[in-house]
Amino acid sequence: MPQNTRYGIIGCGMMGQEHVKNIALLEGTEIAAVFEPDAQMRAAASRLAPDATFATSLSELLARADLDCLVIASPNYRHAEQIAQIADSRPLPLLVEKPLLTDPDDLPRLTRIAKTYPAPIWVAMEYRYMPPIAALLEAAPAITGGVRMLTIREHRFPFLEKVGNWNRFNSQTGGTFVEKCCHFFDLMRLVIGHPPVRVMASAAQSVNHLDECHQGHTPDIIDNGYVIVDFKGGARAMLELCMFAEGARFQEVISAIGDQGKVEAFVPGPTRFWPTDLGPAPTPLIEISPRHPKGPELRETPVDPRLLQAGDHNGSTFYQHQKFLDLVRGHLPAPAVTFGDGVWAVRMGLAAQQSALTGQAVSL
């Protein structure tokens, strides 16, 4: 019998638990150790991974001799320091949650670390693996004839409550365009296939969290905005974000258009937020709309209900872990989402934050 692949989980709150549930669906895997400082989250994690050992520090977790790979799902502002500590003491294959970093001052050091890190580093970008978005990624080149315009519209619920309210402040998240929209900047680069050259944004915190106070401070995070990105080669992309719009049927609508036609993906939000009295949650869709001959075609891209149960991201965490496991076992030559992809997504997010603040376009 081959040995189980043994994971160490760093941070086991909402997303860490989603990782644990999805890893559990993969044959021959085991959650061996967890470092989670919050007692309530630790208790929830131990119900999901009863055989795991709970370390009291990251150093203690890294000192274990029997780990094969690591997953970082701690708050954003911890990622850079934890990557550095791991690189120093136990550089195992690593899946690190987005965003890779929040403070641009950490970038030179992290880049040096990534160059000499002796194992693969995969940056978690679950959106790439949602079935309707994967279908759009596959269909876009042939249907569009080359994407000239990409629009990503996200209309969703406000940020959820997190341990210690870390997600309420730009200083700990990198800002909304870094924290959550790095996914969309990653998709823009992936679909368009060229580097971004300029970012323009208009955004504000208009509605959410304004009546909250955490240790004497009111949250300062953007809840709505537009970002326009110009790409080398002439394509352009736009993000429309609204975080007080969870009444919508679909959470994200993504349209990719070229001179041959258009592809759209319709992505529902987390199934657990869909009111049961409204019947079944919406099925994800893509619509293929060639120009000649005209004839838009709607296709369902359903998600396995077992995967919907294991998280809030349309099954994508499972598909990502399938590939990460292939990488750890040596069946995949390199990470599908590289350190460089993670850095680009953060740079675009930081540029959008800066543009929204200054009213000026930011060149990259």
Ligand X SMILES: NC(=O)c1ccc[n+]([C@@H]2O[C@H](COP(=O)([O-])OP(=O)(O)OC[C@H]3O[C@@H](n4cnc5c(N)ncnc54)[C@H](O)[C@@H]3O)[C@@H](O)[C@H]2O)c1
For binding to ligand X (CB under 6 A), which residues are involved? 10-16, 35-38, 41, 73-76, 78, 97-98, 124, 126, 162-163, 179, 313
Enter the tokens of residue 25. Answer: 């669906």
Residue 143's Cβ-side half-sphere holds a number of Cα atoms within 13 Å equal to 23
- Is 79 in contact with 61 (CB distance < 8 Å)? no
- Shorter beta-carbon distance to ligand X: residue 30 or 38: 38
- Is 153 in contact with 253 (CB distance < 8 Å)? yes
AA identity, residue 236? R
- Shorter beta-carbon distance to ligand X: residue 35 or 344: 35
Shortest distance (Å) from residue 310 CB to ligand X: 13
Check residue 204 and report its DSSP letter. Answer: E
Cα–Cα distance between 69 and 328 in angstroms, integer? 7
Shortest distance (Å) from residue 82 CB to ligand X: 7
Enter the tokens of residue 231. Answer: 């790409």
Shortest distance (Å) from residue 3 CB to ligand X: 26
Shortest distance (Å) from residue 179 CB to ligand X: 6
Shortest distance (Å) from residue 93 CB to ligand X: 18
- Shorter beta-carbon distance to ligand X: residue 122 or 231: 122
- Shorter beta-carbon distance to ligand X: residue 155 or 313: 313
Which residue lies nearest ligand X, judged by its C-beta? 13
Shortest distance (Å) from residue 133 CB to ligand X: 12
The helix or strand, by DSSP H or E, that contains position 286, with its residue range, turns out to be strand 285-290
Q: What share of the chain is helix, strand, coil (3-state, %, to 5)?
A: 40, 25, 40
- Shorter beta-carbon distance to ligand X: residue 113 or 257: 113
Enter the tokens of residue 54. Answer: 């709970």
- Shorter beta-carbon distance to ligand X: residue 82 or 205: 82
